[in-house]
Structure 1
Amino acid sequence: MEEATLVAFKTDANSYFPLKLFDIFRDPCAENEQDLNLGKQVVKFITEVDMCSPLRAQCYFNLPEVQRAFHGNRTKLSYKWKGCFTANFKYNKADMDLDMLPALKQLLQQSIPITIFSGDQDGIIPAVGTLEHLKKLAEELNIKLTKEETWGFRNQEGGSKYVFGDLLTFLTVKGGNHHVTSSRPSQALDIFTNFVIN
């Protein structure tokens, strides 16, 4: 699988493709932690997704003044704080394979509405895979696909919209990556607001 991904992204760098999966069209972070620590380049305003965000957060949360403000590292640990996407992150690998469809099925059987959204530039959990799983779930519950259309956002196309019955909605977010709330925050807020109000 790793070799296939390297070929797909035309690279031989193993460190390149994991970040590329978060947003298949965005270049990965070109900076390194040392550059960020030297310049303390924590805040960076850009119009696109900042692929260096994990490094910036790591730099930021290791600043002594930030740790004091958060009452963090009070025991003066001998190592730096690292985010959860590191080799040190411990979790039960079996949990990665848990199927969420049974949980969604239970919610739908109790008439609880569900809206799921996914960025269309996400290579980790592609929108097409999510849609196929939701179609399978709808079929199990004998819920028909009642609407398939584009949804609008500020007089532009926001993405695709799939409505199953009156309880299950799936939206793709045009230009959204794995972290839709970071890559398309306004669209994510619009989806959330409409879901809560409706």
Structure 2
Amino acid sequence: MFCSLLIILLVITSHDVTASQSVLVKSLPGFPGDLPFKLETGYVSVGDFDEVQLFYYFIESERNPKDDPLLLWLTGGPGCSAFSGLVYEIGPLSFDPGKSTGNLPNLKLNPYSWTKVASIIFLDAPVGTGFSYASTAEGYNITDTLSAKETFTFLCKWLMSRPKFLQNPLYIGGDSYSGIQVPIIVQIISDYNDDERGPPMNLKGYLLGNPVTDIHKDKNTRIPFAHLKSLLSDELYEATKIHCKEEYLHVDPNNALCINDLQVVNECLQNINLAQILEPSCSVEIWKSRQNPTAVAMDSDDLLPWPHRYPEPWCRSYIYLSSYIWANDKTVQNALHVREGTIKEWVRCNKSLSYVYDVPSSLIYHRNLVKKGYRVLIYSGDHDMVIPYLGTHAWIEALNLTLVDDWQPWFVNGQVAGYSTGYKYKKCQLTFATVKGGGHTAPEYKPEECLAMIYRWLAFYPL
């Protein structure tokens, strides 16, 4: 409905209904020379009165932008900037550890960028994320469903102002908390296409990595996952399973046996890095015990020093710190054409959003969408305990689709890169894949394998 109205306005008036700003960025501080790919940044206004300004980074496919798929990518959180997905996961740039120009971390090319096979819009959503902002206090009040509607509006306006991409195969993707957002957005697009009130979006499907789907069910699989990975003994796991009746979150306070077992479980797991159980846990307590003359605030639960050289143990959070230094630099913001004075400070993940979680489970959307005939890729790093693959595989099985491919390994460079299984329902095709050794946001840990995965899936090849 909105897209149809937008087209009418474009025809009958010269008013800039997109209320957007976009620029071509040819170079960036910290990167030597001109960028060898096409980067566009800008804002698109959404909301009832255009009070919300959503910031985006758009990178054209480095292969064939005329025909390659268009991917709208959302980072999780909610509140984690699209720049995190761009520079740490699937974009063409990454930070060069330990190297800097003046006070700025250096950037280098990522040889495993998904822009090798697709054009990607990295969107700072919801409002309050990254460089996105609102002109009114009310504009910052956001919910799951409202954020999805604003993202749909963004995509409508963006495509209407760039009609050459209307025919490209369109996919909506994201990871982590985007597992709630993406299915809602896809449902809205699907309903819009069914209304036939304007030029349809060429929606082909969606993809999700380590996705939040049902918050309770996702978290409830952490204990079975921990046992599977030998973090809990057989005896402790079996006792906890029996005493808690396989419910580890909503525990009866009068169930003393269950509570006692969970206390022991917590002692076993408290120093484990949930995002990747094989990597060091860099907690506040660990770093408070070290000399820390210069602390930089990162995510609200992390305080880490900026070292001249990385101390042992190495922590992934040091690389995250590079984004804070880089994105808050004025020369960087000028290069990106960020509107001056619109945000106080850039943070990788904004945990102070005025956000209402009004969709506790996106499973109902998945059930609706598989009936529509879309292609679906769900993948999970198999060492992620934030959203364990056990829970993800369980809800996929609960969709009661027809199994067409049994659990089997997939390979990169002759080595097992993970395991996959395939399902179908009429025209719908759903692939579930694990990424061996991957953590939460699998491409961050296994970039080469994940590029191979997305290349094959987009090309309709078996993994």
| TM-score interval, smaller chain | 0.7 to 0.9
Which residue identity does 1:148 align to in structure 2? W
Match status 1:81 vs 2:346:
yes
Check whether the contact 1:28–1:51 (CA below 8 A) recurs between aligned residues.
Answer: no
For 1:9, the equivalent position in structure 2 comes to 269
Instruction: Report the Cα offset of residue 60 of structure 1.
Output: 1.6
Match of 1:28 among 281, 291, 294: 281
For 2:458, the equivalent position in structure 1 comes to 196
Check whether the contact 1:118–1:172 (CA below 8 A) recurs between aligned residues.
Answer: yes
In structure 2, do the counterparts of structure 1 residues 50 and 154 end up closer, same or farther at CA, with 3 Å as the change threshold? same
Q: Secondary structure at the match of 1:27?
A: coil
TM-score by length of 1: 0.74
Which residue identity does 1:160 align to in structure 2? Y
Matches within 5 A, 1:100-111: 100-111=362-373
Q: Distance in 1 between matches of 2:315 and 2:438?
A: 9
Q: Distance in 2 between matches of 1:4 and 1:94?
A: 33
Q: Could you list the runs of 5+ residues in structure 2 that have no partner in the other structure?
A: 1-248, 250-261, 297-303
Match status 1:122 vs 2:384:
yes
In structure 2, do the counterparts of structure 1 residues 49 and 120 end up closer, same or farther at CA, with 3 Å as the change threshold? farther
Higher helix share: 1
Which residue identity does 1:60 align to in structure 2? W
Which residue identity does 2:453 align to in structure 1? I
Q: Distance in 1 between matches of 2:342 and 2:387?
A: 38
For 2:406, the equivalent position in structure 1 comes to 147
Match of 1:170 among 399, 410, 432: 432
Q: How many residues align?
A: 177
Instruction: Report the Cα offset of residue 149 of structure 1.
Output: 0.8
CA distances 1:108-145 after superposition (whole Å, capped 9, x unpaired): 212222111000011111011100110001x2x4x236
Instruction: Report the Cα offset of residue 193 of structure 1.
Output: 0.9
Check whether the contact 2:411–2:417 (CA below 8 A) recurs between aligned residues.
Answer: yes
In structure 2, do the counterparts of structure 1 residues 8 and 92 end up closer, same or farther at CA, with 3 Å as the change threshold? farther
Q: Could you list the runs of 5+ residues in structure 1 that have no partner in the other structure?
A: 12-16
Instruction: Report the Cα offset of residue 189 of structure 1.
Output: 1.2
TM-score by length of 2: 0.34
For 2:240, the equivalent position in structure 1 comes to none
Identical-pair percentage: 22
Higher strand share: 2
Check whether the contact 2:280–2:315 (CA below 8 A) recurs between aligned residues.
Answer: no
In structure 2, do the counterparts of structure 1 residues 136 and 106 end up closer, same or farther at CA, with 3 Å as the change threshold? same
Instruction: Report the Cα offset of residue 74 of structure 1.
Output: 0.9
Matches within 5 A, 1:179-194: 179-194=441-456
In structure 2, do the counterparts of structure 1 residues 122 and 57 end up closer, same or farther at CA, with 3 Å as the change threshold? same
Q: Secondary structure at the match of 1:121?
A: coil
Which residue identity does 1:121 align to in structure 2? H
CA distances 1:91-119 after superposition (whole Å, capped 9, x unpaired): 22334x2x222222222212222111000
